[in-house]
Amino acid sequence: MSARPRSGKASLAERLERLRAAIRHHDHRYHVLDDPEVSDAEFDALVRELRALEEEHPELRTRDSPTQRVGGAPQERFAKVRHPAPMLSLANAFRADEVRAWHERVLRLLPTGTNLAWVVEPKIDGLTVVLQYASGVFSLGATRGNGEVGEEVTANLRTVRSLPLSIPVAEDGPPAPESLVVRGEVFVTRDDFQRFNEDQAARGERTYANPRNFAAGSLRQLDSSISAGRPLRLWAYQVIAAEGLDPASQWEALGALRALGFPVTPASRRFEDLEEMIAHCEAFATARLELPYDTDGLVVKIDRLDLQRRLGAVGSAPRWAIAFKFPSSEAVTRVERISVNVGRTGVLMPFAELEPAPIGGVIIRNATLHNEDYVRERDIRIGDRVVVKRAGEVIPQILRSLPELRTGEEQVFEMPKTCPACGEPARRADDEAATYCVNSACPAQLVRSVEYFVSRGAMDIDGFGIQQAGLFVQLGLLHDVADIFFLTAEQLEGVEGFKEKRIQNLMRAIEAAKHRPVARVLTALGIRGVGGVVGELLVDGFGSIDAIAAADVETLDAVEGIGPTLAQSVADWFASPHNRAILEKLRKGGVRLAEEAAPAGAEGPTPLEGKTFVITGTLPSFSREQAAERIKRAGGKVTGSVSAKTSFVVAGESPGGKLEKAEKLGVAVIDEAELLRMIGE
Ligand code: IVH
């Protein structure tokens, strides 16, 4: 982009096209390769420039311009589209033997001596979409529907940032086929799902039951500006039809899609040996927990497309592929008791104590019941048989009771009239489902507040959890969360389980917590509705906790992303003299309450400046998030995938494919200890 623009329309059009190509390129680096080359600010500057030029010269605006992801009026309903080829479903295999049996059946249908290879891909738990491109431009997108006819959701799909609006994305990429039909899966990551739900709950708006429902709800919005605000992602996995692109195998097809700029999951593998392929399937039962999105198994596909065509389908399922699924995440068990926990806000939370039941390799003993209404609406009684579901990392849920299996001995649950922890009265507000303990000095609440305060997403104090919280409250060492910063080594001497080393570590961890970003401190206070995202919005808006405390409801409400309910909740919290006292105590304890306008160099040493890191496997003492935070603090960058640009791969236990890739590319591999040395810790 160094050439000076010539004057006149032709050169302006050229400049626009160059800007678009640059934005497309950076979008691809960021959203598809997870490996950005420029800062957000640089990227935004390019988009701003393009937008401004397009506004001045609307005649030069193109439909596939990166500025055109959102637009158009909300629709009344979705148009129906007939799919170019019916969408089949897959036969299932749950055990290795069933895969071997499928293999035998396939062999019988093929000439003797045919050598087979397989491509194994994650079976992403999202929504299938069909994408059509005409002359390289994204022209139509549809949902699966009933497999023959789907709904046209082109406008919503355009908002998916990893979906190329025009191909090839790279200027030196392979030529786009004249026409192309691609299938893929639209999904959201578990983290994005959780973040969204927390924010929605904070605003008193609807939440979704799981990432899949969230993806579906977000894709099926009649107003595409709503979809645009949702963190939808895409993996492309199948070429349905292509004029001018003729892959011989699924593996080649994936490569071709990747080369054109489509997001293709790096978790796909090709095998030439049946048993190796099966071993990979079995290992995936745990490997999949590492993926940031939900999968319900793997899809095993015969690689050669000519063999796929030859094998065809039986009924509604192709013979050339099979889904390798994992044992169901549901089980039927019995509710032995319903007990009640006290949360940090004093809310009484019923939970079911279950007859222990294995689900997906883990024994489940408890399931949350949320509140009184949840129990009543599902008619869950003590002694009932129930269907329990465990999805991903979330707490097990009771989906429904099975009244047809009742013996008559079951008992209806009554919410206690007093707090099970302190015995003070419990009250339910008229317009809420929650019941609260009215005693603000309830020790159970305090324990929970401390637990939350020290937790990872909040102050992140190592070696401090619910057990320590319970112990210190019981010993009278903590009367509120701020007391943590006044704990002394002397107080802990002689406390059971606290030897010198452990006391030292805890003291050091508490000291470190004093320097957490202000948004973390704000989050840690446990104000209703203020999670990580809202915490950051508020601190970005006001700069300090004091400024937030001084703001009135209207001022708070004026912050982008903060609604009236949330604003009220924040104002209420700071209006309480008890809470104000905690704030003062935190200040006295040395906790950072304001963002310093950092003068140059005040940020501390940045020994990792200019270095890019990828973290893989389980590190001995840090979580990956903690390691990433330390790297960033030292000026380094952390990305999700290994490339030639990666400076170091930090590898822990069971590192997986990233290590192999690093070795292949000659990227230096270090361990946690080496990383700490580099940072100077
Ligand atoms: S190939 C004949 N590959 O699973 C169907 N499907 O039961 C061939 N799915 O809704 C499908 N990930 O959209 C294929 N990597 C993947 C997939 C995948 C998820 C979905 C698919 C369909 C269902 C098939």
- Of all atoms in ligand 1, which is nearest to the CA of residue 318? 2
Under the banding of pLDDT at 50, 70 and 90, the label for residue 560 is confident
pLDDT in tens, 420-429: 999 999 998 7
The verdict on pTM exceeding 0.75 is: no
* Spacing, Cα 268 to ligand 1 middle (Å): 13
* Spacing, Cα 299 to ligand 1 middle (Å): 7
- Of all atoms in ligand 1, which is nearest to the CA of residue 88? 2
Residue with tokens 């009484």: 348
pLDDT (0 to 100) of residue 3: 43
pLDDT (0 to 100) of residue 291: 87
Give the domain extent around 389.
330-405
- Which of 87, 88, 90, 181 to mutate to test ligand 1, by most ligand atoms within 8 A of the CB atom? 90
Q: What span, in angstroms and rounded, lies between the C-alpha atoms of 534 and 525?
A: 13
Under the banding of pLDDT at 50, 70 and 90, the label for residue 2 is very low
* Spacing, Cα 170 to ligand 1 middle (Å): 27
Q: Do 56 and 204 fall into the same domain?
A: no
Residue with tokens 């309480």: 576
> Considering the domain boundaries, does residue 417 fall inside one?
no
Q: Which of 49-58, 490-499, 626-635 has the lowest mean pLDDT?
A: 626-635
Nearest CA to ligand 1 atom 2: 88
Residue type, 388: V
Q: Do 253 and 321 fall into the same domain?
A: yes
Cβ atoms 340, 325 nearer than 8 A? no
**Nearest alpha carbon to residue 619 among 584, 568, 670, 661:** 670
Nearest CA to ligand 1 atom 23: 89
Q: What percent of the chain has pLDDT over 90?
A: 47
- Of all atoms in ligand 1, which is nearest to the CA of residue 126? 19
Residues 6+ apart with CB under 8 A from 477: 483, 487, 491
- Of all atoms in ligand 1, which is nearest to the CA of residue 90? 7
Residues 6+ apart with CB under 8 A from 240: 84, 85, 130, 181, 182, 183
Helix, strand, coil share (%) of the chain residues, nearest 5: 40, 20, 40
Q: Do 316 and 340 fall into the same domain?
A: no
Number of domains in the chain: 5
pLDDT in tens, 210-268: 788 889 989 988 888 888 889 999 999 999 988 888 899 999 999 999 999 999 999 99
CATH number, domain containing residue 389: 2.40.50.140
> Dihedrals φ, ψ of 429, to 5°?
-75, 150
Q: Do 315 and 338 fall into the same domain?
A: no
- Beta carbon of 90 within 6 Å of any ligand 1 atom: yes
Q: Do 386 and 483 fall into the same domain?
A: no
Domain boundary among 532, 567, 596: 596
> Considering the domain boundaries, does residue 518 fall inside one?
yes
Q: How far is CA 342 from CA 26, 339, 349, 416, 438, in A?
A: 48, 10, 6, 12, 11
Cβ atoms 176, 133 nearer than 8 A? yes
Under the banding of pLDDT at 50, 70 and 90, the label for residue 486 is very high
Q: Do 447 and 587 fall into the same domain?
A: yes
- Beta carbon of 85 within 6 Å of any ligand 1 atom: no
For residue 75, the number of C-alpha atoms closer than 13 Å in the C-beta half-sphere is 16
**Nearest alpha carbon to residue 584 among 480, 656, 442, 434:** 480
Q: Do 194 and 343 fall into the same domain?
A: no
Under the banding of pLDDT at 50, 70 and 90, the label for residue 600 is very low
Q: Do 392 and 474 fall into the same domain?
A: no
Under the banding of pLDDT at 50, 70 and 90, the label for residue 599 is very low
Q: What span, in angstroms and rounded, lies between the C-alpha atoms of 634 and 438?
A: 45
Q: Strands, DSSP E only, in 390-544?
A: 397-401, 426-428, 435-437
Write down the mean pLDDT value for the chain.
88
Q: Is the dihedral of CA 13, 19, 20, 25 positive or negative?
A: positive
CATH number, domain containing residue 669: 3.40.50.10190
For residue 59, the number of C-alpha atoms closer than 13 Å in the C-beta half-sphere is 3
pLDDT (0 to 100) of residue 40: 80
Peptide bond into 168 cis (omega under 30): yes
**What's the longest Cα–Cα distance across the chain?**
87
Nearest CA to ligand 1 atom 12: 123
- Beta carbon of 121 within 6 Å of any ligand 1 atom: yes
Strand-strand pairing, 612-616 and 648-651: parallel
Q: Write the Ramachandran bin of 612: left for phi over 0, alpha for psi from -120 to 50, otherwise beta.
A: beta
pLDDT (0 to 100) of residue 5: 45
* Spacing, Cα 123 to ligand 1 middle (Å): 6
> Dihedrals φ, ψ of 72, to 5°?
90, 155
- Beta carbon of 185 within 6 Å of any ligand 1 atom: yes
| Three-state DSSP state, 312 | coil
Residues 6+ apart with CB under 8 A from 351: 338, 339, 340, 341, 366, 367, 368, 369
- Beta carbon of 89 within 6 Å of any ligand 1 atom: yes
Average pLDDT over every residue of 152-171: 93
pLDDT (0 to 100) of residue 10: 63
* Spacing, Cα 34 to ligand 1 middle (Å): 24
> Considering the domain boundaries, does residue 433 fall inside one?
no
CATH number, domain containing residue 29: 1.10.287.610
> Considering the domain boundaries, does residue 342 fall inside one?
yes
Cβ atoms 64, 137 nearer than 8 A? yes
Q: Do 165 and 117 fall into the same domain?
A: yes
pLDDT in tens, 433-475: 889 888 878 999 999 999 999 998 899 999 898 899 999 999 9
- Side by side, the strands of the sheet bearing 637-638 are 637-638, 612-616, 648-651, 668-670
- Which of 88, 92, 124 to mutate to test ligand 1, by most ligand atoms within 8 A of the CB atom? 124
| Three-state DSSP state, 123 | strand
> Considering the domain boundaries, does residue 85 fall inside one?
no
- Beta carbon of 182 within 6 Å of any ligand 1 atom: no
Q: Which of 123, 325, 637, 661 is catalytic?
A: 123
Q: Do 502 and 446 fall into the same domain?
A: yes
Domain boundary among 545, 571, 596: 596
Residue with tokens 């891909």: 121
Taken as a whole, the chain contains a residue count of 681
CATH number, domain containing residue 191: 3.30.470.30
470, two tokens: 């319970």
> Considering the domain boundaries, does residue 418 fall inside one?
no
* Spacing, Cα 125 to ligand 1 middle (Å): 9
Strand-strand pairing, 127-134 and 179-187: antiparallel
Residue with tokens 């924010």: 199
46, two tokens: 């390019």
Average pLDDT over every residue of 367-385: 91
Cβ atoms 167, 260 nearer than 8 A? yes
> Considering the domain boundaries, does residue 661 fall inside one?
yes
Q: Do 44 and 122 fall into the same domain?
A: no
User: Is-catalytic flag, 632?
Assistant: no
Q: What span, in angstroms and rounded, lies between the C-alpha atoms of 478 and 61?
A: 63
Give the burial class of 201: count Cβ atoms within 10 A of its Cβ; 0-12 exposed, 13-18 middle, 19 or more buried: middle
- Beta carbon of 461 within 6 Å of any ligand 1 atom: no
* Spacing, Cα 124 to ligand 1 middle (Å): 8
Domain boundary among 562, 596, 630: 596
- Of all atoms in ligand 1, which is nearest to the CA of residue 313? 2
Q: Do 228 and 153 fall into the same domain?
A: yes
- Beta carbon of 88 within 6 Å of any ligand 1 atom: yes
Q: What span, in angstroms and rounded, lies between the C-alpha atoms of 246 and 252?
A: 9
> Considering the domain boundaries, does residue 425 fall inside one?
no
94, two tokens: 């749950």
pLDDT (0 to 100) of residue 279: 95
Average pLDDT over every residue of 278-297: 87
- Of all atoms in ligand 1, which is nearest to the CA of residue 268? 15
**Nearest alpha carbon to residue 180 among 248, 256, 66:** 256
| Three-state DSSP state, 655 | coil
| Three-state DSSP state, 386 | strand
- Beta carbon of 318 within 6 Å of any ligand 1 atom: yes
| Alpha helix stretches (DSSP H) within 357-442 | 372-377
